[in-house]
Amino acid sequence: MRVEMACEPALEKNKTTVLVVEDEILIRLMVADALRAQGISVIEASNGDEAMRVLQSSVPVELLLTDIRMPSALDGLALAQAARAARPGLKLIVASSQPAGHEVAGLADAFFAKPFDLKGVVQRVKSLLAEAHHARG
Amino acid sequence: MREDDAELLKVAGTILVVEDEVLIRLVIAEYLRDCGYRVIEAVHADEALLVLRKSECEIDVVFTDIEMPGSMDGFALAQWVRTNAPAIDVILAGSVNRAVQAASDLCDQQDHVPKPYDPQIVHDRIRRLLASRGSRKRDLQSALEQAHTDGARLS
């Protein structure tokens, strides 16, 4: 017996999407859940290489939130640079347990120290997304 | 709508999706979220184990790829779930030939899904597994009660 679909997912949705890049699953889950609770669509990537596969696809992404230290060919800073080149209008937040260096200041829209102030991160994401929407008119 | 279909529609739960290819993972995870499930994404079995060991995550179904990098493939993960968290249902997805037999040995209702998979088929399998939980629990309960009665008679 074939069961009728319980839902008809709108695969082409005009939803705001944030790409969260974090290699520690429980931190990634916590951040992603907090953003989803605000109605934001979240794509999760566990490292810079996965994130670049998303950014090089046609999947819409408006903001990239990435950890700096990650076990992949691309760390967070290299990812941020590549992301800026691939998607010039992308908003960018970087996070690290180390203090922000000068390279972060010239690259990211915001920096967060880890462990995360989750409320602060969510608020900053929302304000940057609002800026992006305003800029787009 | 048939009565058993209506019963299936009431079922919701938390699905742990384990898939190392990000562009596949994001499609199936988003689809299942749209269908009303809470979805936790893991890239490989080691991440999945971290989630499964956290009791507050309350996973109902593990939907895992068979071939993954890391210390465990999907078969080993399914075996771990069977041994350590038998209340959690497992669905395997994969394209390797040996998957069919191995999946039927490991999973409820021979739940192997060939890749590339149709998200709707995955959703149907999850709903059926969750919907059958009540009757499976009742069967287990009656078996336990029968065993208890038999044991009391013997003693």
Q: What's the CATH number where B25 sits?
A: 3.40.50.2300
- Measured torsion, CA atoms of residues A76, A80, A83, A88, in degrees rounded to the nearest 10: 170
User: A30 CA to chain B: closest CA distance, Å?
Assistant: 10
> What confidence tens digit (pLDDT) does each residue in B28-41 have?
999 999 999 999 99
- The reported pLDDT for the residue numbered B79 is 94
Give the range with max mean pLDDT: A73-77, B21-25, B100-104. B21-25
Looking at residues B15-27, what average pLDDT do you find?
96
Interface contact A37, partner B, CB < 8 A: no
Q: Residue A69 and residue A48: Cα distance in Å, rounded?
A: 10
Supply the pLDDT for residue B99: 58
Tokens of B69: 């990098």
Contact B60, B13 (CB under 8 A): yes
Ordered by where they begin, the domains of chain A are 17-136 (3.40.50.2300)
Q: CA-nearest residue of chain B to A5?
A: B120
Q: Considering its fold, how many domains does chain B have in total? A: 1
Report the residue count for chain B: 155
Name the residue facing A6 among B29, B35, B50 (closest C-beta). B35
What residues make up the domain containing B42?
A: 3-154
Residues of B in contact with A2 (CB under 8 A): 124
pLDDT of residue A26: 95
Whether the link from the prior residue into B116 is cis, omega within 30° of 0, is yes
CA B105 vs CA A83, B131, B137, B139: distances in Å: 45, 21, 20, 20
Look at B30 and A9 and tell me if their CB atoms are within 8 Å: yes
Give CA A76 to chain center in angstroms.
Answer: 11
Confidence of residue B44 (pLDDT cuts 50, 70, 90): very high
CA dihedral of residues A73, A78, A82, A88 (deg, nearest 10): 150
What number is the average pLDDT over the span B122-139? 83
More confident position, A116 or B84: B84
Q: Closest-CA residue in chain A for B124?
A: A3
Q: What is the mean pLDDT of chain B?
A: 82
Cα–Cα distance for residue pair B78/B106, rounded to 1 Å: 7
Please indicate whether, in this complex, the C-beta atoms of B22 and A41 are within 8 angstroms of each other. Answer: no
What's the CA gap between A74 and A77, in Å, rounded? 8
3-state SS, residue A78: helix
CA separation, residue B136 to residues A25, B92, B110, B154 (Å): 32, 20, 15, 27
ipTM for the whole complex: 0.84
Please tell me the predicted confidence (pLDDT) of residue B7. Answer: 53
Instruction: Compute the radius of gyration of chain B from its Cα atoms.
Output: 17
Strands (E) across A1-137 are located at 17-21, 41-45, 63-67, 91-96, 110-113
* Nearest neighbour of B41 by CB, restricted to A3, A44, A51: A44
| Average pLDDT value for residue range B66-85 | 92
Cα–Cα dist A105/A103, whole Å: 6
Chain A hits for B128, Cβ within 8 Å:
3
pLDDT value of residue B140: 65
Q: Tell me which DSSP letter residue B55 carries.
A: G
Q: Tell me the whole-structure pTM to 2 decimals.
A: 0.77
Which residues, other chains included, contact A71 with Cβ-Cβ below 8 Å and sequence gap of 6+?
A23, A47
Closest residue in chain B to residue A25, using alpha carbons only: B47
- Tell me the percentage of chain B whose pLDDT exceeds 90: 46
- Report the alpha-carbon distance of residue B129 to residue B108 in Å, rounded: 8
Distance between CA atoms of B142 and B130, rounded to whole angstroms? 20
Task: Give B106-127 pLDDT, tens digit per residue.
Answer: 565 556 677 788 899 889 888 8
pLDDT tens column, A31-82: 999 999 999 999 999 999 999 999 999 999 999 999 998 887 889 999 999 9
Locate the chain B residue with the closest alpha carbon to A4. Answer: B5
Task: Please tell me the distance in Å from A117's CA to the nearest CA on chain B.
Answer: 21
Query: Cα distance from A101 to chain B (closest Cα, Å)?
Result: 30
From chain B, pick out residues whose CB is under 8 angstroms from the CB of A36: 33
